[in-house]
Structure 1
Amino acid sequence: MNETALVTSDLIDLYDAVFTHGGFTVRFNADETLTPAASGFAVSATDEQWSVPSAVPFADFAAAIERLHALYPTANAMGGWVDGQRLYLDPVEIIDDLAKAEFLGRLRNQIAIYDLSASEEIRL
């Protein structure tokens, strides 16, 4: 389990991004800061669906992000988006190669992966 907590100001920025931009995809840095992911292909690190009510208080949101970060140490990033009354959180791996990303997505029973450069979903 990761003993270092994610930087609170980064978590606040993610919380704001959900409500101002509809979502986020960020990379985890070695110093536990977060950087927006702008290129590559986001592939879920799990076939489980994680969600909370979209009106989740900040403390619960931050705890959920930190818990998923600890549960999925191979995930080098995190994605989040609102759909209806649910906020979906997804530990992801950012893969630079499309063929590898599609292969991993299918292996993990994903419906789609996300092309960060083009800002579009790729159905599998």
Structure 2
Amino acid sequence: MALYLSRLELQARLHLGKEAEQWLGHTEADGYTAIQWLYLAQEDRHRYSVTYMESFDEGDEEWQQVPEFSLLDPDAEESIAFDSVEEAVAYAVQTYGASPDRFVPGGMLTEEYARYWQSKNAPAK
């Protein structure tokens, strides 16, 4: 299970130059599944970026490295920078429907994906 960052932990993490991520979900379209997530990072000392990503759901039981999945449109990556962590989080919430309480440390998005993968592949009861 993923360890969600508190708002203070999220701020501290980004101020230290570490990343945070958030699983946003998936959509079905034209015979494929797309997954969406956000990536927050410090660009320089006082700039914080929010990057929205969409990729094909290429994972399986063995391979769940979401950042390595093929992007739906590599040229359509959306990233915008802000002067504060608070502004970046507010933008993520308002624009992408992110939850300020569901960010995970960078690199832990695979755990979020694993939960999704297990739920979609669970036997029907």
What TM-score, normalized by structure 1, do the two folds share? Answer: 0.30
